[in-house]
Structure 1
């Protein structure tokens, strides 16, 4: 009998944010999903050891652990927290640890501006300096750091890496098995150089994440992600480019959207699987 092909669909836990880790693992099993992307705070709430056991007993792959990063402040405690995140990713046997590198020093998401630095090049240099410390630590533990460029509207408060090219520039001094990049359709679809940069990323793509970019965006632009097919992104060229670059790992659906989070998670999972099959493929 011919073996069933592996499904590459992965449920990023925050797509069904109402579910705990245990509920999300159970939902994956019931819906025939083979991989899951986990978030550190939810893993902590469930318990790391229990999460490891739940995932293993369900036979799931952990496509990513989110997140490490926030490296621009220069605070030594940030390095300590990232070392803990690397250790957690190793325990979970996660394919990568997603790194959201942080915005301008002093700029905190959702808070009024106080004392800040406006030196963007210096903030990016701090990321490079932190990677020089963290990449070998991750390599010793078999963990791959995955730099995620975010859409430029998040540059001030969440990620001073705005393009895939910038992420690759920071990744390239390190071995590919230690530092890779995330290709997230929401964040990179607009970039006129994105297809060229995806080709350049061959051997460095640690995660491919998909969702749509809504128009108009909601007041909270963090929640402007939609189910594939409900926004403006043309997925085929991006997916084809990622495949041509040699990436054959899991493909995560990661959606931050208030209406999606308010809906029944089982219905959402069925809905995103259908759109995934139509626009991305299994």
Structure 2
């Protein structure tokens, strides 16, 4: 990255940063890069159906205050070309291709939900590439998931102005208010917004997610292959990928810390964004 480009990234936000592109392996990846160029870059791996603008600016911008943060669309998602794979391994390979195309020799990973599946595989298979890994609202292979049932219930709720309110937040007034605030932040960018996902993305992603959780791994081979320090985060009432998954990963990982947030669902990192950023910073800087 040139000094000019690095300087341009400093002071930008998720809402204002230009969408950039890098191409290789037959895929043109869309991404945004924020923050100073010092330290180990933090690469964010997104949730089911999510794109760059589905991240919370309160999280991304705060993390980028003192480090490079990179958000991107994996193959077939948003403005990235290619076909969205229907398995986690291929998605992880595409993410590694993207990281390599940026010329990064070492990164930290933050994987949210489906992105946490990818983060586990990348950390397990590419030990020299990944320094530390943050697993948020996710599950190990063979873990517990209620994705389809919860999605169907949420989409059937015609009272909710946005499906993310019942999916990511608890029914409590405090959590729902936090959800409304999150939605306002996530919609702040009005120009050059990313492209929403359709069934060509959500169908293969759903298959990948369900297959990952339905495939037993009694020996916890993937988790045991992760030797990097890990921070495992979950909401207390995550109905999509329950918090039991976080505790299960914490027990098996060789060097892990566990954080559970109160009165929060799948979007605990957005509801408790200031606390989450503080925990991530402490973990990455240790």
TM bucket, shorter chain: 0.3 to 0.5
Give the TM-score normalised by the residue count of structure 2: 0.37
Give the TM-score normalised by the residue count of structure 1: 0.37
